[in-house]
């Protein structure tokens, strides 16, 4: 490694600080604004440090918009998406990773291709499909949690399966075979041996699908109603034609970021590995 001269060192750290400012600046602005009074926010010449610190925005944010309810809705939808896509993609990934069957490669290609289709192509047919299910099968789908979970699970599946397949490929096959010889069935081998070994991969994938559900706006716009509105849409309600409650919105933004930050810090290593593997191998 080449040694840097003191001048180069100063320059080097200066560049790092510039990068960090670009990355964190908008974040700091959100945090600082969430503690400002609404009078200060509406005033000219905004400053980075609040002139008077206040918790009003955090106290008031649920009175303006039922953000706690939306938060709960999002937890249900994203959590449900996470559970279902975990189950389905573990089975599918195990199938692709352990068995050689006709159409296996075709299936993998289809999985890759579906990731590329524009979501907008599905919005109108879904709307029709959900209307059709309701009038013919009597199961309500729009404005229900099951409708959203169904949608998000299927959109999380292709990437999850491919990512998990990569992970399972790295677990030696001989482990399964040993378990089979010891008298386990295939499902027991998967459940008792492979799943515990693949925990990091499963964690990364679970969080990926959770975040997907948390972020989604396109389908949520069409498929949710007053009862099931998710937090991503709820945040938009702070700004109306008549009033812009930026302070409260920033407070609600902080609140909406919380679960993602917690999940990410807990599993950062797995997520980073999983993303890089999924991206470089796919």
Q: Is 83 in the site for another protein (CB under 8 A)?
A: no
**Least Å distance between CB 68 and another protein?**
16
Tokens representing residue 106 in the block:
């075709």
Q: Is 7 in the site for another protein (CB under 8 A)?
A: no
Distance CA 126, CA 142 (A): 10
Distance CA 188, CA 239 (A): 53
Q: Is 68 in the site for another protein (CB under 8 A)?
A: no
Nearer to another protein, 55 or 236 (CB): 236
Contacts of another protein in 88-117 (CB under 8 A)? 88-89, 91-92, 94-96, 98-102, 104, 107, 110, 114-117
Contacts of another protein in 10-29 (CB under 8 A)? 12-13, 15-16, 19-20, 22-24, 26-27, 29
Environment class of 187 (CB within 10 Å of its CB; exposed 0-12, middle 13-18, buried 19+) = exposed
Nearer to another protein, 63 or 106 (CB): 106
Nearest Cα residue to 244 out of 252, 253, 233, 236: 236
Type and span of the H or E element at 45: none
**Least Å distance between CB 125 and another protein?**
4
Among 10, 139, 175, 279, binds another protein (CB under 8 A): 279
Q: Is 282 in the site for another protein (CB under 8 A)?
A: yes
- DSSP string covering 155-175, please? HHHHHHHHHHHHHHHTS-HHH
User: What is the pattern of x (binds another protein, CB under 8 A) and - over residues 112-151?
Assistant: --xxxxxxxxxxxxxxxx-x---x--------------xx
CA atoms within 13 A on the CB side of 111: 22
């Amino acid at each position: 490694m080449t040694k840097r001269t003191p001048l180069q060192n100063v320059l080097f750290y200066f560049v790092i600080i510039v990068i960090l400012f670009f990355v964190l600046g908008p974040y700091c602005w959100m945090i600082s604004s969430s503690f400002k009074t609404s009078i200060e926010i509406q005033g000219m010449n905004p400053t980075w440090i609040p002139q008077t610190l206040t918790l009003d925005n955090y106290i008031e944010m649920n009175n303006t918009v039922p953000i706690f309810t939306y938060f709960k809705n999002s937890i249900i939808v994203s959590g449900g998406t996470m559970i279902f896509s975990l189950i389905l993609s573990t089975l599918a990934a195990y199938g692709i990773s352990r068995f050689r069957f006709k159409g296996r490669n075709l299936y993998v290609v289809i999985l890759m291709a579906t990731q590329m289709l524009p979501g907008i192509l599905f919005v109108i047919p879904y709307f029709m499909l959900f209307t059709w299910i309701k009038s013919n099968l009597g199961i309500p789908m729009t404005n229900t949690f099951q409708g959203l979970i169904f949608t998000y699970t299927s959109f999380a599946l292709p990437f999850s399966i491919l990512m998990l397949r990569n992970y399972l490929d790295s677990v030696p096959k001989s482990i399964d075979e040993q378990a089979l010889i010891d008298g386990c069935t295939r499902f027991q081998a998967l459940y008792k041996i492979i799943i515990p070994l693949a925990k990091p991969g499963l964690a990364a994938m679970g969080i990926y699908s959770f975040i997907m559900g948390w972020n989604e706006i396109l389908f949520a716009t069409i498929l949710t109603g007053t009862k099931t509105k998710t937090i991503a849409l709820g945040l938009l309600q702070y700004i109306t034609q008549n009033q812009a409650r930026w302070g409260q919105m920033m407070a609600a933004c902080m609140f909406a970021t919380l679960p993602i930050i917690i999940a990410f810090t807990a599993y950062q290593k797995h997520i980073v590995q999983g993303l890089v593997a999924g991206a470089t191998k796919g």
